[in-house]
Amino acid sequence: MAKHLALLCGSFHKTEIEVMVAAAKDEAEQRGLDVSMEVWVPGSMEKPLALDWLLRRADIDGVVILGVIERGQTLHGEVMGHVVERSYIDLSLKYQKPIGQGIIGPGALPEHLPSRLEPYARAAVAAAARMLDLKDQLAG
């Protein structure tokens, strides 16, 4: 029985994230996973709430989060990155479902993005897939 993933995407860098989505879907297919939902939110600050909604769904086995947090002129992006990352961990533990984190940054510059888009998306799917397998192994 196939496991079902949701992709949670930030639309602030929509063009770049669409590249990540394509790579994530390809990686999921190669691993026998079904991407059954693709959810877009405005940006990183909105992801924790949407993640909570997704993880409470019985038809979602795990979530892959895709996004970019750029380096700005202030520490806003860095602080935001740390706060939302902590919420991802807390929600994963609360719902006992894996999260693949495919966020470039915080601190990313535009020139950092092209070479990282596909590898980060693929690594996030691979992490979620590995944790789904591990969950099955440890369940006995």
Rg (CA), the chain: 14
Residue 19 CA to residue 22 CA, distance in Å, equals: 5
Residue 113 CA to residue 37 CA, distance in Å, equals: 24
Give the containing element (helix H, strand E) for 83.
helix 76-95
Q: Exactly one of 13, 76, 82, 112 is catalytic; which is it?
A: 76
Residue 112 CA to residue 135 CA, distance in Å, equals: 34
Fold of 4-139: Rossmann fold (3.40.50)
Q: Which of 22-26, 57-61, 67-71, 126-130 is least confident?
A: 67-71
Active site (annotated) includes residue 13: no
Q: For position 84, what pLDDT does the model report?
A: 86
Per-residue pLDDT band for 80 (boundaries 50, 70, 90) equals confident
